[in-house]
């Protein structure tokens, strides 16, 4: 309902009715609409982490595992539910300021990406540097333009071919900046 109607357009009464429950039942589990929205975000994050873990092979070449994760980030962030939730979060930024300020530390998929970067650094496939910063740069290079386009209603990255072509260009640029350097 949040994704379809926005935060402001979704009331606890509508949620209770959609669930076939009384409003008091919903309030016992979530004391406010904000708490319910945060619960929805956490559920989306948990589902995303399971998807990432199922996509990235548990073993293999560190750089290839990182590349698979990077491609997952691009694809996952363009899912309609993700785009809708990003719109809500941006439109209600003042309310969710603390969540936005928490940054990468609060997102389990970003923590997973940081671990993959650290593994690629240890194997010598990536240059040394702060893994969290490198993760941010990778995410930004892979997702900002496609997410922005999608949020504005463009279908420029809707096809697999368009996403793959964009990913390969962004990955190549990322590797030129963060890849192993000859000394």
Q: What is the mean pLDDT of the chain?
A: 88
C-alpha distances out from residue 31 to 23, 34, 39, 73, Å: 11, 8, 11, 32
For residue 104, what pLDDT band results from cuts at 50, 70 and 90?
very low
**What's the pLDDT band for 2 if we cut at 50, 70, 90?**
confident
Span 119-158, pLDDT tens digits: 999 999 999 999 999 999 999 999 999 999 999 999 999 9
* 106: pLDDT strictly greater than 80: no
Residues 32-82 pLDDT 10s: 988 888 888 888 889 999 999 999 999 999 999 999 999 999 999 999 888
Angle between helices 12-19 and 33-55 (to 10 degrees): 60
Closest to 151 (Cα-Cα) out of 94, 104, 81: 81
Please give the CATH superfamily to which domain 41-178 belongs. Tetracycline Repressor, domain 2 (1.10.357.10)
Question: pLDDT tens across 118-127, in order?
Answer: 999 999 999 9
Kind and range of the H or E run holding 114: helix 108-122
| pLDDT at 58 (0 to 100) | 93
pLDDT value at residue 105: 55
Q: Please determine, for residue 100, whether its predicted confidence score (pLDDT) is greater than 90.
A: no
Burial of 118 per CB tally in 10 Å (0-12, 13-18, 19+): middle
């Amino acid at each position: 309902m949040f994704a379809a109607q926005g935060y402001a357009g979704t009331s606890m009464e509508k949620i209770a009715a959609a669930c076939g429950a009384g409003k008091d039942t919903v309030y016992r589990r979530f004391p406010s609409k904000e708490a319910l929205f945060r619960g929805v975000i956490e559920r989306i994050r948990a589902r995303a982490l399971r998807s990432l873990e199922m996509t990235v092979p548990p073993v293999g070449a560190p750089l290839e595992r990182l590349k698979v994760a990077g491609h997952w980030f691009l694809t996952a962030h363009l899912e309609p539910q993700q785009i809708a939730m990003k719109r809500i979060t941006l439109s209600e930024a003042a309310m969710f300021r603390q969540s936005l300020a928490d940054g990468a530390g609060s997102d389990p998929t970003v923590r997973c990406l940081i671990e993959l970067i650290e593994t690629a650094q240890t194997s010598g496939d990536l240059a040394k540097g702060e893994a969290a910063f490198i993760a941010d740069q990778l995410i930004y290079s892979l997702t900002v333009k496609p997410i922005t386009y999608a949020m504005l209603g463009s279908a420029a990255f809707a096809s697999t071919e368009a996403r793959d072509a964009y990913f390969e260009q962004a990955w190549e640029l990322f590797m030129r900046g963060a890849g192993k350097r000859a000394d």
